[in-house]
A and B are shown apart, each in its own frame.
Chain A
Amino acid sequence: GNSVTQMEGPVTLSEEAFLTINCTYTATGYPSLFWYVQYPGEGLQLLLKATKADDKGSNKGFEATYRKETTSFHLEKGSVQVSDSAVYFCALLPRNAGNMLTFGGGTRLMVKP
């Protein structure tokens, strides 16, 4: 079956620090990969995605590269801000229709001024 494993949180960083949140996956075929973000008290928002190997998704200074050889999709940001404090979810979506997203457990990021 499909599964997503991401690093446990919370991750606590100072403002302007470098962020990495690890995500690895297990899936048949070549799924699409996503990072979703959930700000306090809000719903789920798509942060970025990659649909094939070596694709790099990017948004709001965040990046993640689809690494087929290591089955990974690590989230990075060069300089975090207090406003980035949220829970981040890695997810995969199989190619064939009718399949749902499989989510990782989520990683809480706390950025201190």
Chain B
Amino acid sequence: SAVISQKPSRDICQRGTSLTIQCQVDSQVTMMFWYRQQPGQSLTLIATANQGSEATYESGFVIDKFPISRPNLTFSTLTVSNMSPEDSSIYLCSVEDLDRVGTEAFFGQGTRLTVV
């Protein structure tokens, strides 16, 4: 299994500012995923982050708005840039257990972001 620590757990930010969310895993993983959960909605994948390469973004998400870093196999950051109230959501990172491909996925506790 994998234990994921996500920071901060919540934040209230002013519009126009940026917030960087950190995701730390207790083991080395190849794939890390960033999701957004808007209020009352399901989870939507933002991007997939591989170590040593640029993140792959899903339709509707762009690197300028959600830059991602993946400096090593245990860590990733997601930045929400130039925030607006519409960015108020829970942001979650997730990793896949490559020892059991297709059978397990782990989530951080999420970052609850409120933009005012």
Residue positions of A touching B, CB distance < 8 A: 31-32, 34, 36, 41-46, 49, 51, 89, 93-101, 103-106
Q: Are B45 and A93 in contact (CB under 8 A)?
A: no
Instruction: Indicate whether A97 sits within 8 Å of B42 (C-beta atoms), given known contacts A34-B105, A44-B107, A51-B103.
Output: no
Segment at the interface with A among B20-28, B59-67, B80-88, B89-97 = B89-97
Residues of chain B within 8 A of A49, CB atoms compared: 103-104
Report Cα–Cα, A110/B67, bound state, in Å.
37
Which partner residue on chain A sits nearest B56 by CB separation? A98
Residue of A nearest to B107 (CB): A44
Given A43-B92, A44-B110, A106-B42, the answer on whether A93 and B105 have CB atoms closer than 8 Å is yes
Residues on B with C-beta less than 8 A from A43 are 6, 90, 92, 107-110
> Does chain A have a CB within 8 A of B98?
yes
What DSSP secondary structure best describes chain B's contact surface?
strand
**Chain A residues within 8 Å of B79, by CB:** none
B105 to chain A, nearest CB (A): 5
Closest 5 CB pairs of A and B: A95-B102, A43-B110, A43-B109, A97-B101, A44-B107
- Kindly state the separation between the CA atoms of A41 and B98 in the bound complex, as whole angstroms: 30
For residue B110, which residues in chain A have a CB less than 8 angstroms away from its CB? 42-44
- Contact A104 B101, beta carbon cutoff 8 Å: no
* Cβ-defined contact, B33 with A100, below 8 A: yes
Q: A44-B110, A89-B42, A103-B42 are in contact. Are A97 and B31 (CB under 8 A)?
A: yes
B43 at interface, CB cutoff 8 A: yes
Most B CB within 10 A of own CB, among A94, A100, A103, A105: A100
Q: Are A100 and B102 in contact (CB under 8 A)?
A: no
CB-CB under 8 A for A44 and B92, given A98-B31, A100-B45, A104-B42: yes
Give bound CA distance, A104 to B41, whole Å.
10
**Complex Cα distance A106/B104, Å?**
19
Query: A103 vs B107: C-alpha distance in the bound complex, in angstroms?
Result: 13
Looking at the assembled complex, report how far the CB atom of A82 sits from the nearest CB atom of chain B, in whole angstroms: 21
Is residue B48 contacting chain A, with contact meaning CB distance below 8 A? yes
